[in-house]
Amino acid sequence: MTQPLRFAVIGQPIAHSLSPTIHAAFARQRGIVLEYTAIEAGPEALAETLERFDGHGANITLPHKVAAFGLCASTTERARRARAVNTLTRTAEGWEGDNTDGSGLVRDLTERRRLDLRGRRVLLLGAGGAAQGVAPLLLDAGIDEMVVVNRSPERADALCSALGDPARAHSRYWDDLRGLGDFEMIVNATSAGRATGQFDIPFSLPSPRCLAVDLSYGEAAVPFLAWARAAGCVDVVDGLGMLVEQAADSFARWHGVRPDTEAVYAMLRAREDALVTAD
């Protein structure tokens, strides 16, 4: 019998990760035999966990995307631009790191939802691993300007200087949000919703055609999405579509074939809706 290829998602907390379900569904679709598990590891245990895990590939989720970048033997160009990884592939030299978050987000917005990102003035809230992953790809998608605001301003500065596009990407202080004008796209890449259960930023930020995106989904996305609806954003999107698309890009890297994401997205969306209705 063929031994299943082994994969895992590594993060903390990890118990509610949808990645095992998504990869199992993709594998069934493509007739691939694999085992995909969730491994809980805190920051102090990441290096040892990666050393011990002898599978073919791994997804890296919060809070490890930046730290895992430093543990890779090699990295793809988009991982280097992000300085963060979410996809590891075993090579003879060690782990190769890639980042599929940005391509996953842009595909969800432009292909699934048919939203045109070109020319938008974008506010990116947060400057951690998730923000680093999506920022370069948003610039590539043709946005006009990106203002990065983070609770710790030095991280926003570091993200902007790494992007190397001073004409379009610059940082501002969180306390100055009220004076920044309005935006056609606001992306929440902070973990504030998870941490505090609330989101309190000025209602003056969205322009009349604003798209609001939270990179997380489920309970963690509720505070920002509630703020976005109350503030009058026209399109309000959580990170579930991005999650499925970034997983599909990881799957394609490991197996050489891209799965069909629509059926898997529909299944997870129905499940999410049922959970919200049940609350």
Task: For residue 11, say whether it is annotated as part of any ligand binding site.
Answer: no
Active site residue 227: no
Does 129 contact ligand ATR by CB under 6 A?
yes
Find, among 67, 83, 214, the residue nearest to 161 by Cα: 83
Does 190 contact ligand ATR by CB under 6 A?
yes
126 or 136, CB closer to ligand ATR?
A: 126
Task: Give exposure, 179-208, as e/b (b: 16+ Cβ within 10 Å).
Answer: ebeebbbbbbbbbbbbeeeebebeeebbbe
Judged by CB under 6 A, the residue of 73, 195, 257, 275 near ligand ATR is 195
In the block, residue with structure tokens 């790191």: 97
Of the residues 23, 64, 65, 83, only one is catalytic, namely 65
119 or 202, CB closer to ligand ATR?
A: 202
Does 127 contact ligand ATR by CB under 6 A?
yes
Segment interacting with ligand ATR (CB under 6 A) among 57-65, 70-78, 228-236, 270-278: 57-65
Does 126 contact ligand ATR by CB under 6 A?
yes
- How near is the Cβ of 87 to ligand ATR at its closest, in Å? 14
Q: Which helix (H) or strand (E) holds 91?
A: strand 87-91
| Spatial CB neighbours of 131, under 8 Å, sequence gap ≥ 6 | 124, 125, 148, 150, 159, 187, 189, 190
Q: Is the peptide bond before 202 cis (omega within 30 degrees of 0)?
A: no
- Annotated binding residues for shikimate, written as ranges, equal 17-19, 61, 86, 101, 217, 246
